[in-house]
Amino acid sequence: MDDRVKVYEEKMQKAYDFLLSDLSTIRAGRANPHVLDKIRVDYYGTPTPLQQVGNITVPEPRMLQIAPWEKNLIKDIEKAILASDVGITPTNDGSVIRLVFPELTEERRKELVKEVKKKGEEGKVAIRNIRRDGNDAFKKLSKTEVSEDEIKDLEEQLQKLTDKYGKDIDKTIEEKSQEILKV
């Protein structure tokens, strides 16, 4: 593969990786510690990722347990979870915080599948935008540097990458949708 195409492949991979991390925060009925990835706790005046202030475990399929490194952080962690969009009310017993995930209703599962498909479509748009940027850059290459055939070849390589990542996104979205719909 041409080095000029590799640049765009790296960008497409980053867009795909972003989609994967975004999808991991969507809960599918089971407790998944990744739903807490975006939560920041005020730790001595610094917004700190929740994973860095406590130990997160999954003692039961529908429960997360957070054991803070320092007991005085319990209120701050609770406040951060309540302020987030997780949608679960934490309970604490003075030493650990528990999050019990309710069983998802059929309606909520369908909403989540729509959200997943929307994120997948956004991922595909990002991939297509990268392809467009690449094609524009290839067209701007001076006619003295490369022939029209070479430009066509670069565009074809980029299109193959676009197709590959499009299929990867479709497969990922399908798998995540099945995971959400499975009761």
Give me the number of domains the chain comprises.
Answer: 2
Please say if the pLDDT value at position 173 is more than 70.
Answer: yes
- Domain endpoint, select from 57, 76, 100: 100
* CATH number for the domain that contains residue 95: 3.30.1360.40
User: Which of 100, 125, 152 is at the close of a domain?
Assistant: 100
Long-range contacts of 147-153 (CB under 8 A, 24+ apart): 153/2
Share of the chain above pLDDT 90, in %: 31
pLDDT at 183: 61
Say what the pLDDT of residue 29 is.
65
pLDDT range class, residue 32, cuts 50, 70, 90: confident
Q: Token pair 């392809």 is at which residue?
A: 131
CA proximity to 60, closest of 108, 99, 109, 105: 99
Question: Beta strands 46-49 and 54-60: pairing type?
Answer: unpaired
User: Where is the domain boundary, 77, 100, 123?
Assistant: 100
Same domain, 39 and 57: yes
pLDDT for the residue numbered 16: 93
Same domain, 93 and 57: yes
pTM, two decimal places: 0.71
Rounded Cα distance between 46 and 158, Å, is 43
Q: How far apart are CA 12 and CA 159, in angstroms?
A: 12
CA 179 – CA 77 distance, rounded (Å): 29
User: 7 lies in which domain range?
Assistant: 3-25+105-181
* Shared domain check, 38 and 86: yes
Shared domain check, 157 and 125 = yes
Quote the CA–CA distance of 165 and 118 in Å, as a whole number.
16
Q: Is residue 94 very low, low, confident or very high in pLDDT (cuts 50, 70, 90)?
A: confident
- Residues 129, 158, single domain; the answer is yes
| 112 shares its domain with 168 | yes
- Pull the structure tokens for residue 53: 């202030």
Residue 68 in this model has a pLDDT that exceeds 70: yes
DSSP string, 34-66: GGGTT-EEEETTEEEEGGGTEEEEEEETTEEEE
Q: Are residues 152 and 168 in the same domain?
A: yes
Mean pLDDT value of segment 16-36:
80
CATH number at residue 21: 1.10.132.20
pLDDT, tens only, 98-139: 988 878 788 888 888 999 999 999 999 999 999 999 999 888
Whether the predicted pLDDT of 28 surpasses 70: no
Residue 151 and residue 110 in one domain: yes
Are 21 and 111 within one domain? Answer: yes
Q: Same domain, yes or no, for 41 and 9? A: no
